[in-house]
Amino acid sequence: MNYLAHIFLSENDDNLIIGNFIADFIKGNNYKHLPLKIQNGIILHRHIDSFTDKHPIVRRSKRRLHERYRHYDGIIIDILYDHFLAKNWGNYSEITLIKIEDDFLNIMNKNLDFLPEKVKTILPYIKEQNWLSNYANLMGIERTLIGMNKRTKNKSQMHLAINDLKQNYKELENDFTLFFEELIVFSKSEIINIKNNNL
């Protein structure tokens, strides 16, 4: 799952949000110096990713994409699923997406000492470009895909995936809806297990 989903699945717990967000920027066990509650968020993130990667619905979504993307198909689906989460945000939360985005940025800026340098560099862009809330529209998703393609030096061709989204929109949205229901249940259970194991 991508940024917005990981934030949502942290259940408004500041420490889980921090850990869940920074996990992609941390390799191996290079997080043991962080507060235990933030470590829990990193562990949660990795469990969510593992559950997602192995899930048959997610694999079905990947098969809906053009074969040109190869091993980038998982990243693309993560981004497209964030689009459907943002678009249907009101189905999952009573708190507006704009407020979630503002609260997230406040949390991160209050805890800069715990953030990897790469995370600190992207925070201004998240704010200026309203990354999270702009996932709700196709233009925002297209901009994200273009940016990701540039990061791969145009090897991924991810900028073309906006066409895959448009061509398979209903099918992908249905995949997301079915999968996310299961992911929410899984994530809630994992949060309880992780916290109990670290008492």
pLDDT for the residue numbered 197:
77
Q: Per-residue b/e over 127-141, b at no fewer than 16 CB within 10 Å?
A: beebbbbbbbeeebb
Residue-level pLDDT at 198: 65
Q: pLDDT tens digits for 108-140?
A: 999 999 999 999 999 998 888 888 999 999 999
Which domain covers residue 155, as residue numbers? 3-197
pLDDT at 1 (0 to 100): 63
Q: 135 by DSSP, 3-state: which? A: coil
What confidence score (pLDDT) does residue 129 get?
Answer: 85
Distance of alpha carbon 198 from alpha carbon 12, whole angstroms: 19
How many domains are contained in the chain? Answer: 1
CA distances from 165 to 10, 88, 92, 175 (A): 27, 16, 22, 12
Closest to 56 (Cα-Cα) out of 172, 179, 181, 197: 179
Model confidence pLDDT, tens digit, residues 161-198? 999 999 999 999 999 999 999 999 999 999 999 888 76
Instruction: Supply the pTM of this predicted model.
Output: 0.93
